[in-house]
């Protein structure tokens, strides 16, 4: 068993730390990340101005830091867990006049895939429903 790691506080954790979760003593176990238990997300920032941005299962927020010059295809994470949320954020001081279109990469359906004209600091969110195998735009 590893030794102590020193003082730990919530603001020194990265969210990538993992620990074992057991349903009962001697029962099945699973590894989960600290992000899953403290309701935080791993965000990425991008200066991409046109083309595609692809998210993996740990990327739940993408912040666009440059004005868009063309449309963006936002490739949603494959095989997401039920309830996963993805947010696209305009991280600039000006409104986007280009579109961001969410696209499933694993056969899922996307309802209301396009986000048009995001204002400065505005965002668009999609939530995955496993039963329907569908991403829904919620704002």
- The Cα–Cα gap between 98 and 107 comes to 25
Placement of tokens 């694993």 in the chain = 106
- The Cα–Cα gap between 59 and 77 comes to 8
* End-to-end CA separation in angstroms for the chain: 46
**Between 18 and 36, residue with greater pLDDT:** 18
Average pLDDT of the chain, as a whole number: 84
At 7, is the pLDDT very low, low, confident or very high (cuts 50, 70, 90)?
A: low
- The Cα–Cα gap between 109 and 103 comes to 8
Answer whether 49's CB lies under 8 Å from 67's CB: yes
Token output for 132: 């329907």
Q: Can you tell me whether residue 115 is helix, strand or coil?
A: strand
Average confidence (pLDDT) over 31-40:
64
pLDDT tens per residue, range 114-134: 877 899 999 999 999 999 999
Kindly list the domain boundaries of the chain, sorted by start residue: 1-40, 41-137
pLDDT tens per residue, range 53-112: 999 887 889 999 999 999 999 999 998 888 889 999 999 999 999 999 999 999 999 999
Q: Return the pLDDT at 1.
A: 46
Answer whether 135's CB lies under 8 Å from 102's CB: yes
């Amino acid at each position: 068993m590893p030794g102590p790691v020193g003082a730990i506080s919530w603001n020194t954790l990265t969210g990538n730390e993992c620990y074992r979760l057991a349903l009962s003593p001697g029962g099945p176990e699973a590894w989960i990340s600290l992000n899953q238990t403290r309701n935080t997300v791993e965000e990425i920032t991008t200066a991409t101005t046109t083309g595609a941005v692809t998210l993996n299962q740990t990327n739940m927020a993408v912040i666009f830091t440059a004005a868009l010059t063309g449309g963006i295809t936002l490739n949603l994470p494959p095989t997401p867990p039920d309830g996963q949320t993805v947010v696209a954020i305009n991280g600039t001081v000006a409104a986007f006049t280009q579109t961001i279109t969410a696209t499933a990469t694993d056969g899922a359906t996307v309802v209301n895939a396009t986000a048009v004209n995001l204002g400065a600091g505005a965002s668009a969110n999609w939530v995955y429903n496993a039963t329907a195998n569908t991403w829904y735009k919620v704002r």
